[in-house]
Amino acid sequence: MISIRNVSKTFASSSGSVEALKEVSLEIGEGEIYGVIGLSGAGKSTLARCINLLERPDSGSVNVDGMEMTSLSPRELRGQRRGIGMIFQQFNLMPSRTVWGNIAYPLKKAGLGREETDKRVRELLRLVGLEDKINAYPRQLSGGQKQRVAIARAIAVRPKVLICDEATSALDPATTLSILALLKQINREMGITMVVITHEMAVVKEICDRVAVMEHGRIVEEGSALSVFASPRSEVAASFVESASGAARINRLLDEKSPAVRIEKGQVLAKLTYMGTGANEALISQASRRFGVDCNIIFGNMEVVQDTTIGVLVLAFSGEKESITAAAEFLSRNNVIVEVIDR
């Protein structure tokens, strides 16, 4: 659906030039929710703006739905932009227009009559759950409500792509979750391809199918949200995963040799990592029973990414040395990654 090839963009400023994008390439499939995560200044927002050409890349190609964006005439580009919705961190609703007026804004260009426009606006308000706010002005709405109106406006003309530029960064965690749920619902029901720009791994974890990790204008890591979450390869990705996962805490405790992870003589401290189906089987209690070892759960954390569970358990095994080894082997055979931390 979206194919970005070798896109570079440099901004000139008084204090020298800034290379916002360096030879960035990525492919986004139809109907996919694609995350782009990075710290501020990593170039992710510039990348998003290169998709609808709000920023024109210095070089490289941007292809959306089979159209090479960089070679379109201004008029063609405007037409193509109508097929690419966008929502923003600061919502960017028109303050002088009511909710109705804001959602009707793009419909006027689409050539809808007054009655059809009204019908469509009401339909969209029902979808985003704000029917009672039809005559309110943006100033009278909460952040979450504003973003709902912005979403309704962005999808009003049934675009094929929706760009979400830090769409939840100005919202509190609970509102963030409700907006993400709405986006996911829209993605499922309408099949809109979504590009989600964010600096929060929690957002990626919640809705993204695939994710690109950006740093200093480059994509340093790319893959399914699950694989990046389960085994990040780059340092930035690892730190993002850490920020969104409770499992990071255990690593700190282990590093600090906290009393919480201190073990007695004869015990073995191990970290178990498992994914997907493994979580549905009673592996730990099986191991315990079959090999006669006691398992004391010191720490546990579970994340659900793309409907797959990623679990981390830290256990203190006690029992015969051989039994512990056999239990560890049993777990390994069942796709659990066992790391012995201390013995």
**Interface of this chain with another protein, residues 116 to 155, rule: CB under 8 A:** 137-139, 153
Number of residues that bind another protein (CB under 8 A): 28
Provide the token pair at 145: 């409500």
Q: Residue 340, by phi and psi: left (phi above 0), alpha (psi -120 to 50) or beta?
A: beta
**What are the Cα distances from residue 287, in Å, to 124, 270, 274, 316, 342?**
53, 14, 15, 13, 19
168: contact with another protein by CB under 8 A: no
88: contact with another protein by CB under 8 A: yes
Return the number of the residue (183 or 226) whose C-beta is nearest another protein: 183
Return the number of the residue (140 or 285) whose C-beta is nearest another protein: 140
**Interface of this chain with another protein, residues 20 to 49, rule: CB under 8 A:** none
Provide the token pair at 271: 């970290």
Q: How far apart are CA 138 and CA 93, in angstroms?
A: 7
225: contact with another protein by CB under 8 A: no
Would you call 307 helix, strand, or coil by DSSP?
Answer: coil
Burial (CB count within 10 angstroms: exposed 0-12, middle 13-18, buried 19+), residue 83: middle
Pick from 5, 22, 82, 199 the residue near another protein by CB under 8 A.
Answer: 82
Minimum distance from residue 205 beta carbon to another protein (Å) = 27
Amino acid letter for position 112: L
111: contact with another protein by CB under 8 A: no
Tell me the sheet residues that pair with 302: 311
Return the number of the residue (112 or 163) whose C-beta is nearest another protein: 163
79: contact with another protein by CB under 8 A: yes
Return the number of the residue (95 or 259) whose C-beta is nearest another protein: 95
**Interface of this chain with another protein, residues 3 to 22, rule: CB under 8 A:** none
Pick from 94, 260, 304, 340 the residue near another protein by CB under 8 A.
Answer: 94
Would you call 172 helix, strand, or coil by DSSP?
Answer: coil
Minimum distance from residue 257 beta carbon to another protein (Å) = 49
Window contacting another protein (CB under 8 A); options: 88-96, 116-124, 236-244, 314-322: 88-96
- Residues 6+ positions from 33 with CB-CB distance below 8 Å: 183, 184, 187, 193, 194, 196, 207, 208, 209, 210
Pick from 52, 117, 147, 187 the residue near another protein by CB under 8 A.
Answer: 52
84: contact with another protein by CB under 8 A: yes
Nearest residue to 87 via CA among 165, 22, 160, 24 = 165
96: contact with another protein by CB under 8 A: yes
158: contact with another protein by CB under 8 A: no
109: contact with another protein by CB under 8 A: yes
- Residue given tokens 């909710």 in the structure block: 99
321: contact with another protein by CB under 8 A: no
Provide the token pair at 274: 């498992």
Write phi, then psi, for 269 (nearest 5 degrees): -100, 125
- Residues 6+ positions from 37 with CB-CB distance below 8 Å: 44, 198, 199, 200, 201, 203, 204, 211, 212, 213, 214, 240
Window contacting another protein (CB under 8 A); options: 34-42, 80-88, 168-176, 281-289: 80-88
Contact 340, 274 (CB under 8 A): no
Interaction site with another protein (CB under 8 A): 52, 54, 74-75, 78-82, 84-86, 88, 90, 92-97, 105-106, 109, 137-139, 153, 163
